[in-house]
Amino acid sequence: MRIVAGLTALVLAACSAGPEAGPEDGSEPVVIEPVAQALQPLIDDGELAGVAVAVWQDDALIGRWGQGVRDLESGAPMRADTIVRIYSMTKPVTAVAMMQLYEQGLWHPDDPVAAYLPELADVGVFRGLDAEGEPVITPPVRSPTMAQLMTHTAGFSYGFLGGWVDDRYREANLWASPSSDDFIETMASLPLNAEPGSEWRYSVSMDLQGVIIERLSGQSLSDYMRDHIFTPLAMADTGFSVDPAGADRLATNYDWRDGRLQPENTSDGLFIDPFTEPGFAWGGGGLFSTADDFLRFGRMLLGGGELDGVRVLTEASVETIMTNQISHAVAAGGFGIGFQQIRPGYQYGYNGVVVTDPRLGGVAVGEGTYLWDGRAMTWFWVDPAHDIVFVGMVQRNAGPGMPELQPLTQRAMQAAFYPAGD
């Protein structure tokens, strides 16, 4: 890999243009100036309260800093060890848990989902409304498989989009389910949105995976991830709730309302109480973490399943996660969510995007990059071609007009470390 000349001028021990907060442990911030300069105007203009960044390359920490604040009222600084809601960045963690159980021979991609969630054996496919406005629901041609569940192609939806099926998801109030069994019982009453395998559609698939993990392991999802992922990887601040000892490091989450940041609406159905362990842990979006912790998770993926001499997955399993698993036809179907618009060159592995062709996909990362983001605009990528892990953490719920943080920082990293064509 070729690095542009002047690297030492780009990675600074401090930066006067905004980033100044080292972690709570007192260590000095390490700032990648082009990235910090790209983000600072969003803080200055009030679009973000603060951002924490952690970056690893070539077996070294090359970036770890905070900009802005984690709470607008108190002015407490944002840091790399600030605790945030990562929402859908939970999904890649769930993929790792699933592949651990795969390695034990407990499931196979060709198995039907109903083999592990028998309550869903009779779920039909919504075909449209008849002349009287009644839904037409018929059995699928083929039952959804585990491989489809791992790739958002099983036919499920999420309730975040328009249409009859998503309306039913919203009415069902899935995220208020008191337990995983209650969640599955409700899911059994809802039809698939599409024929399994026919399209990529953002969905509850990873939440269903979370229930499967519980049933196969005999542990709650929270306990399983703690014992088999977070503790081995020394991710002490990651979990489905926040230890009261870390309360002073928890960032405030914001919505964009009336042209400014305001504390999030806690009654929108997706609010997570940080200090209460959930009865139903969302495998698709329930975790809290820090930039420091999630960098360790990304480094494990970059290291083929191993970090600091501790192996949590085989190289083959990591390769499966980070390899495209959907067809060209599905990738070209025009489906996506937010900035994650699936398309040729920008496809999907297990629980995350895989960049198969950066030029075709129009992204400033290397071929084979694995990435995802979260509802509160957290984002990360693992770029094996350039030996980079990048983690960015903010706390502003996604919505119209939100800043494009992922492409913004990818372009800044490209300009600094791997000019186009390298």
What is the distance between the alpha carbons of residues 422 and 418, in angstroms, rounded to a whole number?
Answer: 6
Inside any domain, residue 106: yes
Q: Tokens for 148, please give them.
A: 């489809």
What is the predicted pLDDT for the residue at 5? 35
What is the predicted pLDDT for the residue at 364? 97
Residue 120: domain span: 83-241+277-318
What is the predicted pLDDT for the residue at 268? 81
- The structural domain count of the chain equals 1
Inside any domain, residue 286: yes
Inside any domain, residue 133: yes
Which of helix, strand or coil describes residue 250?
strand
Inside any domain, residue 195: yes
DSSP type of residue 302: H
pLDDT in tens, 107-132: 999 999 999 999 999 999 999 999 99
Inside any domain, residue 197: yes
Do 381 and 390 touch, CB atoms closer than 8 A?
yes
Do 138 and 150 touch, CB atoms closer than 8 A?
no
Inside any domain, residue 134: yes
What is the distance between the alpha carbons of residues 86 and 291, in angstroms, rounded to a whole number?
Answer: 10
Inside any domain, residue 119: yes
Give every residue of the chain whose pLDDT is below 50, as ranges: 1-17
Taking CA 370 as the corner, what is the angle to CA 368 and CA 373, rounded to the nearest 5 degrees?
155
Inside any domain, residue 350: no
What is the predicted pLDDT for the residue at 20? 57
Point out which residues pair with 390 in neighbouring strands: 55, 381
Q: Residue 212's domain is classified under what CATH number? A: 3.40.710.10
For the chain, how many residues are written? 422
pLDDT in tens, 126-165: 999 999 999 999 999 999 999 999 999 999 999 988 999 9
